[in-house]
Amino acid sequence: MDFTAENFTQLMIVIIALVAALIVFKLITRIIFKIILPILIVLIGGYFAYQYYGPGNLIKDITALYCEGSNVDEVKCECFVKPIIVDMESRLTAQQILDFENDPIKSTKELYISYENKKDEINLCFESKGKSNSIVDDMLKDVKDLIYGFSSK
């Protein structure tokens, strides 16, 4: 192998390319480990924290809020909670309803679907009991408080 100027130039180009590739590789790994990885860890941790501390089972929570315990509200229980539960039981299997305990997002979604399905019936029931439509808004606010884990009372 001759060490001519042409071979020496090609060798230098290969060495410079390898050094540049090494520098780029180090830069990319720094970006991944200093920026992307911590963000990913925070996002995953946030998801698990929400799953752990978030609402467990919204259906059980609203049943406990209006139909059980010391401050039972018969009108809210009969006109709001029971129609929603009946709708869910007619649309979903018992196993799907049990799975809500592990999936607060699905629980919230199904509660909303059942509310929309029974909205007219709920409003008519409240009107027949002498309550205004604003009570439904108050109850939806209570449900939102349960979802986000705080209460304004």
pLDDT in tens, 127-153: 888 876 667 677 777 777 766 655 444
The rounded distance, in Å, linking the Cα atoms of 105 and 53 is 13
Average pLDDT, the chain: 81
pLDDT in tens, 27-48: 998 888 888 888 889 999 888 8
pLDDT in tens, 56-70: 677 777 888 888 877
Q: Which of 139, 148, 21 is nearest to 78 (CA)?
A: 139
Q: Could you tell me the residue ranges of all domains in the chain?
A: 1-53, 58-148
Overall pTM > 0.85: no
Q: Measured between alpha carbons, how far is residue 67 from residues 37, 62, 84 in Å?
A: 46, 8, 13
Mean pLDDT of 12-16: 93
